[in-house]
Amino acid sequence: MPNFPNQYFAPKPNHVPPNHAAGVRERLMACKGEGDEFDRYVVSCALATAMAEVDYHPLTEALGLARSTIAEILEKMFPGSYSIDELVPQNANTGEDAPAEPVLRDMLIANRTSATPLESWVAHIFIRRCQVGDHMWRSIGLFSRNELTEAMLRYFKPLAVKNIYDLKWKRFIYRQMREENNLDLEKYPYCENCSREIITDDGERFPFCAHCPDFEECSATEDV
């Protein structure tokens, strides 16, 4: 799976803003294309955060989106801002999914509000960024949990309205995955002692786990 630089570190305090590459979000937002201001804001934040990680992996891995999809986003939402060749090497790919990533992604896509391409793009981005060892809103590049709540209700309303107890969003989507899918526990391994890492039989290490016996109390699924 992608090599997230902060994957195995404890979350930063809640007041710490996301790590954006300097000037990227502003340059994107200055080039007005499709989508309203909030749509463009969410995607520009994600792109700016991914650009801050290019020393570790390309945007395709950071966002879980194909190079052609990122090119389409730039052309439609931020025309004239960047060319795809400025941002993504030609041979870049999305890397391998984390163990639970395909199921989580499919769950969001199945619960899109309007089944638009933007919602599909955001589903890929949100679930790939869930694999970062940090608060979900900041991993995406947003500035608060309230912004993430607005995004979830806007793009994935059928799922988001089920969060009637206002659970933290990363915890909520992992919990929903457990409840809605009959999953093979061998494929989605348990946390060891409820730590921030899970270890597969092959010795690979991943953050978070949907099947930890102490899931409700597990700090690995905190996002605020």
SS (H, E, C) 60-99: HHHHCCCHHHHHHHHHHHCCCCCCHHHHCCCCCCCCCCCC
The pLDDT score that the predictor gives to residue 217 is 46
DSSP assignment letter at 217: G
Mean pLDDT, residues 31-46:
97
The pLDDT score that the predictor gives to residue 204 is 59
Provide the residue ranges of all domains of the chain, joining segments of one domain with +.
24-186
| Percent with pLDDT over 90 in the chain | 58
What are 40-72's pLDDT values in tens digits? 999 999 999 999 999 999 999 999 999 999 999
